[in-house]
Amino acid sequence: MSAYREAVERVVRAALAEDAPWGDVTSEHLIPAEADATASIVARESGVFAGGAAVEAAFEQVDERIRITDLVDDGSAFGTGAVLARIEGPARGVLRGERIALNLAQRLSGVATLTARYVAAVEGSGVRIVDTRKTTPGLRMLERYAVRAGGGRNHRFSLSDAVMAKDNHLAVLAAQGIGTAEALRRLRSSLPHTTHIEVEVDRVEQIHEALEGGADTIMLDNFALDDLRAGVALIGGRAVVEASGGVTLETVAAIAATGVDVISVGALTHSVRALDLGLDIALRA
């Protein structure tokens, strides 16, 4: 089982336990045990789908007799009214799994849809749209998978993956009388050669020290467009240039045009709106 699927199974298990800690009192007392149901997940608006594994896990963990067919692929664009999956099996299980399946598919499809809009806005520029660590606690792997489903890329997954010296790190060092370049050189000497080092700067004047210290990536945080262009020119290909801070769909194309390599967008996960999906149970004649 892949790490992603393991994460999905874990998230769904916890969500189902939270949603029905002592069972589904409504369905278990209202719906006959022998009743079957046929249902469809239907799009109430257009978007890009993500979360197929979560849909499968939600129903399979409730009742392994539930069958899921016609599940669209993650990354698929769809229109209003599209059927994204069909579910058939014991009615109690379908009803119990419904909310968790929809909650996760709606959120992840929202992430994929928003990401696809950012990617489309910079099409042809060669700039990568990437996510950040501003994810929902416990859902990071799922949300970052959804970013990829929308055509985006991932930044470092966790604090353990790469060095990212941000403004607060540099402020602590400065209070100790340690300059950025000196700190980066010390850091480089103590790390494996494979470890990537990124430094965040919020003024053009800080770029020189980041370069002197050997940063692999320099993040230009909350720079105005003219300052972004100046920063790109100053770095001159000696490091990957990342733009970050306050990026919106209205501004992302102009940021991409400054020549940066990467644009990180926290909004892909921290401010996303869940897509409107519903589960419709078919009525028998």
Among the listed residues 5, 117, 133, 166, the single catalytic one is 166
67 among known catalytic residues:
no
Catalytic site includes residue 166: yes
Catalytic residue among 117, 134, 153, 229: 134
Catalytic annotation, pick one of 5, 99, 133, 156: 99
Task: Say whether 99 is catalytic.
Answer: yes
Phi, psi values for residue 11, rounded to 5°: -65, -45
Instruction: Give yes or no: 216 in active site.
Output: no
Helix (H) or strand (E) run with residue 50 in it: none
Catalytic residue, candidates 56, 198, 209, 221: 221
Q: Which letter does DSSP use for residue 206 in this model?
A: G
Q: Read off the tokens for 23.
A: 């069972």
Task: Identify which of 118, 132, 141, 149 has the alpha carbon closest to the alpha carbon of residue 50.
Answer: 149
Query: In 10 A of CB 120, how many CB atoms?
Result: 14
Helix axes 91-121, 52-62, angle to 10 degrees: 170
Radius of gyration of the chain (CA): 23
Q: How many CB atoms lie within 10 A of CB 116?
A: 20
Burial (Cβ within 10 Å: 0-12, 13-18, ≥19) of residue 154: middle
Q: Which of 24, 60, 98, 200 is catalytic?
A: 200
Residues annotated as part of the active site:
99, 134, 166, 200, 221
